[in-house]
């Protein structure tokens, strides 16, 4: 934790650190790269921020989202198109599935709740919209690891679209049988 005013922290002892300028005392953070910080050692807040992923306020989240948004669409254009296509396929297949079955058969709790509240057409639309917004927000916030989020999401959405149309008849009885045995 660095001083918000000066950006400099100093290790006074093993238990406390304080800003040279403000004497802002904070509990010690686990050491960065060394096991025992040297008393009186100054560390630039930029270096400390790279090693500590701590959020202090909603303002930090907004700032990080704002900074990570720059160039995001250009860098992840292909993944975004694939997520949109897989989301639309999953949404359409979920609507098809719910019109032929019922919202109670849906596995995803948010989509099931929204489908029970808004119906078998608007529920999946709102549910998939919420999932898409969360996916985009999460990948912007964790931009360095966005690919590790995009790939499983695309695969799972595509698999869910297939499952809702064709796989349901192949795997549903076995899956329920397995889930019954795993239930406590």
**What total number of domains does the chain contain?**
2
Are 92 and 158 members of one domain?
Answer: yes
Please tell me the distance from the alpha carbon of residue 133 to that of residue 125, in angstroms, as a whole number.
12
Are 80 and 150 members of one domain?
Answer: yes
**pLDDT tens-place string over residues 79-129:** 999 999 999 999 999 999 888 888 887 878 888 889 999 999 999 999 999
Say if residue 15's pLDDT is above 50: no
Are 24 and 79 members of one domain?
Answer: no
Are 106 and 25 members of one domain?
Answer: no
Give the rounded percent of residues in the chain with a pLDDT score beyond 70: 63
Are 162 and 135 members of one domain?
Answer: yes
Are 82 and 49 members of one domain?
Answer: no
The answer to the question of residue 2 being in a domain is no
Give the rounded percent of residues in the chain with a pLDDT score beyond 90: 43
State the pLDDT confidence band at 10, using cuts at 50, 70 and 90. Answer: very low
Tell me how far the alpha carbon of residue 137 is from its chain's centroid. Answer: 7
| DSSP SS3 for 38 | coil
Are 40 and 108 members of one domain?
Answer: no
Are 163 and 88 members of one domain?
Answer: yes
Are 43 and 71 members of one domain?
Answer: no
End-to-end Cα, the chain, rounded Å? 44
Asked whether the whole model's pTM tops 0.75, one would answer no
State the pLDDT confidence band at 58, using cuts at 50, 70 and 90. Answer: confident
Q: Across-strand partners of 41? A: 11
61 in Cβ contact with 55 (< 8 Å): yes
State the pLDDT confidence band at 171, using cuts at 50, 70 and 90. Answer: low
Cα 62–157–130 angle (5° rounding)? 35
The answer to the question of residue 1 being in a domain is no
Strand ranges (E), the chain: 8-11, 16-18, 25-27, 41-44
Are 29 and 81 members of one domain?
Answer: no
57 in Cβ contact with 64 (< 8 Å): no
Residue 47 has a pLDDT of 45
Are 44 and 90 members of one domain?
Answer: no
Are 49 and 71 members of one domain?
Answer: no
Nearest CA to 69 among 142, 176, 7? 142
The answer to the question of residue 61 being in a domain is no
Return the DSSP state at 31. Answer: P
| DSSP SS3 for 133 | helix
- The average pLDDT across 59-84 equals 94
The answer to the question of residue 133 being in a domain is yes
The answer to the question of residue 124 being in a domain is yes
The answer to the question of residue 30 being in a domain is yes
**Can you give the residue range of the structural domain that contains 81?**
67-182
């Amino acid at each position: 934790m660095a001083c918000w005013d000066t950006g400099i922290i100093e290790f006074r002892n093993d238990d406390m650190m304080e800003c040279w300028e403000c004497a802002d005392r904070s509990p010690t953070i686990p050491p960065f790269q060394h096991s025992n910080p040297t008393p009186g050692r100054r560390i630039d807040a930029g270096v400390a921020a790279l090693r500590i992923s701590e959020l202090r306020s909603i303002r930090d989240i907004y700032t990080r989202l704002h900074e990570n948004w720059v160039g995001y669409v250009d860098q992840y254009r292909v993944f975004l198109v694939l997520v949109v296509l897989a989301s639309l396929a999953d949404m359409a297949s979920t609507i098809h599935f719910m019109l032929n079955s019922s919202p109670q058969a849906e596995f995803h709790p948010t989509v099931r709740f929204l489908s029970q509240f808004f119906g078998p057409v608007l529920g999946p639309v709102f549910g998939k919209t919420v999932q898409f917004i969360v996916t985009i927000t999460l990948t912007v916030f964790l931009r360095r690891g966005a690919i590790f989020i995009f790939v499983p999401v695309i695969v799972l959405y595509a698999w869910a679209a297939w499952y809702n149309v064709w796989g349901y008849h192949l795997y549903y009885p076995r899956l329920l049988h397995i889930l019954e045995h795993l239930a406590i």
